[in-house]
């Protein structure tokens, strides 16, 4: 019983981080049809910003939980306007290459600034302790990660369904031409959602720093997992990415517990088979 709870707990924490990092990508892909392999760069930026601010400038960790996504959002908006927007509608090869180039630049700059070593992320003492809940004990930090992930997912789902901006996004995903002809300025919408996705990526990158290990190859390390979440969920669905993240978190944690000899092979095999049976992902419509 204890093991099952533990596995579920670990899976949830893992899934929350995956969800936060990948949800922005899912939106960009749905809106612009752009395969942003470089999305992990925002996660890396968020993680490093937080780590440097906490250790270097002595800012409190909770403050960075807000500050770091805001800064990265501005950075993402800038990048979208200056570079990404030029590549919408270009060939797949160009988009893929562009992203690889961007990852190279990001990881080289990170290595030049902060060195090649794994960067520790100091946590407030209140978070780095075990919490007793009945007969079970949980790592407080992971509880927070799950909380943030769950709240974000709920907020996004509600926001998409209930707010004006949400319906604008849905309209643009559904039919970009139609949305434009009824007066939506989709290019502004693109920049805004791109920045929002970057912010969530930064949040996920910061929270996932101890999961993936903050190092200059962070963007490369998370790339494949994030892409998998989007592919499994399917394009143009945001609800799907939450469930896909859960599923992948569960597969990854379960296989690490029971068949560690196979490593990540289980996950990649599962994804491969799933995409064969359902090329559009579990919930994709596009």
Q: Which residues bind other proteins (CB under 8 A)?
A: 29, 35, 83, 86-87, 90, 92-94, 96-98, 100-109, 111-112, 220, 224, 227-228, 231, 235, 261-265, 268-269, 271-272, 275-276, 279-281
DSSP for 97-124, please give it: HHHHHHHHHHHHHHHHHH-SSPBP----
Check if the beta carbon of residue 266 is closer than 8 Å to that of residue 251: yes
Q: How far is the CB of 175 from other proteins (least distance, A)?
A: 19
The whole-angstrom separation of Cα 83 and Cα 88 is 10
Exposed (0-12), middle (13-18) or buried (19+): which is 198, by Cβ within 10 Å? buried
Dihedral sign for Cα 245, 118, 73, 149, please: positive
Provide the minimum distance between the beta carbon of 170 and other proteins in the complex, in angstroms, as a whole number: 20
Q: How far is the CB of 177 from other proteins (least distance, A)?
A: 17
As measured in angstroms, the least distance from the Cβ of 268 to other proteins is 4
Q: How far is the CB of 114 from other proteins (least distance, A)?
A: 11
Place of tokens 């030029």: 86
Closest residue by Cα to residue 143 from 8, 3, 20: 8
Q: Dihedrals φ, ψ of 131, to 5°? A: -115, 140
Question: Counting beta carbons within 10 angstroms of the beta carbon of residue 9, is it exposed (0 to 12), middle (13 to 18) or buried (19 or more)?
Answer: middle
Of the two residues 151 and 265, which places its CB atom closer to other proteins in the complex? 265
How far apart, in whole angstroms, are the C-alpha atoms of residue 272 and residue 268?
6
Closest approach of Cβ 245 to other proteins, in Å? 16
Closer to other proteins by Cβ: residue 172 or 235:
235
């Amino acid at each position: 019983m204890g093991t099952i709870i533990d596995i579920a707990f670990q899976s949830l924490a893992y899934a929350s981080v995956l969800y936060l990092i990948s949800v922005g990508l899912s939106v960009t892909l749905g809106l612009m049809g752009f395969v942003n392999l470089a999305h992990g760069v925002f996660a890396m930026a968020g993680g490093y910003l937080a780590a440097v601010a906490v250790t270097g400038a002595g800012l409190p960790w909770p403050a960075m939980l807000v500050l770091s996504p805001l800064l990265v959002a501005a950075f993402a908006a800038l990048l979208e306007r200056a570079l990404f927007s030029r590549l919408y509608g270009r060939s797949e090869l160009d988009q893929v290459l562009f992203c690889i180039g961007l990852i190279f630049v990001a990881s080289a700059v990170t290595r030049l600034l902060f060195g090649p070593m794994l960067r520790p992320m100091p946590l407030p003492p209140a978070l780095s302790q075990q919490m007793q809940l009945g007969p079970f004990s949980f790592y407080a930090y992971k509880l927070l990660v799950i909380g943030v992930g769950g709240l974000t997912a709920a907020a996004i789902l509600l926001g998409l369904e209930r707010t004006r901006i949400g319906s604008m996004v849905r309209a643009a995903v559904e039919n970009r031409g139609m949305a434009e002809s009824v007066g939506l300025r989709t290019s502004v919408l693109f920049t805004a959602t791109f920045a929002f996705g970057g912010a969530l990526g930064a949040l996920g990158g910061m929270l996932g720093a101890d999961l993936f290990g903050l190092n200059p190859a962070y963007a490369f390390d998370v790339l494949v997992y994030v892409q998998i979440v989007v592919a499994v969920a399917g394009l143009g669905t945001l609800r799907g990415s939450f469930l896909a993240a859960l599923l992948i978190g569960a597969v990854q944690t379960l296989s690490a517990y029971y068949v560690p000899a196979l490593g990540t092979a289980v996950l990649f095999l599962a994804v491969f088979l799933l995409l064969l049976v359902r090329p559009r992902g579990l919930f994709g419509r596009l």
